[in-house]
A and B are shown apart, each in its own frame.
Chain A
Amino acid sequence: MAGLRLKKRELSDGIVLISASGFLDAHTFEELESLIEDIFKKKIYRIIVQMDKLDYISSAGAGVFIGAVGTATSHGGNIVLLSPSPNVKEVLDLLGLSQIFPLVYTQDDAVEYFVGGKK
């Protein structure tokens, strides 16, 4: 049964890239939530979530970003959403989150968001 697959990679400048693929739903969201909590424990608050291979997201999945963004921004970081697939982008739009979270389409732009003075 397809689930959620997560890969974490530390970039320079205190940035972590999470690559998510599969389904981010009410069954799998805790995996991503746990991974982000672990990253916060290392005092890293600049997080990029790559979503081009994420096939599906529900409100429970989007709720992970909502729950984490306050901690990230209060420590000078943020949650940047990178290249959401069309299906995922549609749900983010329906929820109004595309207007709230930084949304970029290249990794360079995601890194630039943090090191280019925006955050």
Chain B
Amino acid sequence: MKPRVVEDEFVVSNKTENLSQVRDFVGHVLTRARINETDARHIVLAVDEAVSNIIRHGYEEFTRGTRTVQMHIHADTTRVEVVLRDSGRKFDPNSVPSPCIADHVKLGRRYGLGLFLMRRVMDEVKYVFKSRAENTLTMVKYVERSGKEKQRGSGGGKNGRSKAQEARTE
């Protein structure tokens, strides 16, 4: 079976109730791209953590109106790149050191583990802040293709918009 290059986009509003749709969307894209299950599970986790952080922290001060998180996924034969854009508060993950989990538990610190997980399961986590309040988070994972397609997720739902581009590599 020929490997696929898959590109897709998804937009969700800043509500944590949309997180299951985010996971479904990412899982569905990675299934179409025939990414192996372990890598796919890790990428879904990283995106969920990143979008959760944007909604709960980046948009924490924006209590009026609806804000959005834009996702773009590119999967090819060697790598998966996920780009997230939002207009929330500036946040640079590079400014946050990796936590000591034992200390975290000892002190009862419930927060700050999402970024730790993103770094653990992805190969690259890059952040860029542009003027006019645009945050861009790019995460990359170098992957292997699975030997067969497996169903994973059910795709976008009513609160998100998705458009897909797919092409078989020659």
Contact = CB atoms under 8 A, between A and B. Distances in A.
Contacts of A2: 20
A60 B52 contact: yes
A27 interface: yes
Given A2-B20, A58-B48, A58-B49, A94 B120 contact: yes
Interface residues of B, number: 29
B108 A59 contact: no
A1 B110 contact: no
A64 interface: yes
Contacts of A63: 110-111, 113
If over half of A's interface residues share one DSSP class (helix, strand or loop), that class is named, otherwise mixed; here it is helix
Contacts, number: 74
Count class of interface residues, chain A: 20 to 34
- Interface-central residue, A25, A56, A60, A63, by most chain B CB under 10 Å: A60
A91 B101 CA distance: 13
Interface in A31-80: 56, 58-60, 62-64, 66-67, 69-70
If over half of B's interface residues share one DSSP class (helix, strand or loop), that class is named, otherwise mixed; here it is helix
Interface string B123-144: 0000000000000000000000
A69 B101 CA distance: 13
A26 B16 contact: yes
A97 interface: yes
B101 A96 contact: yes
10 contacts: A25-B20, A25-B48, A60-B52, A60-B114, A66-B110, A67-B108, A90-B41, A94-B117, A97-B101, A97-B105
Interface of A: 1-3, 23, 25-27, 56, 58-60, 62-64, 66-67, 69-70, 87, 90-91, 94-97, 100
Given A23-B20, A62-B113, A70-B107, 13 more contacts: A2-B20, A25-B48, A25-B52, A58-B45, A58-B48, A58-B52, A59-B49, A59-B117, A60-B110, A63-B110, A67-B110, A87-B41, A91-B117
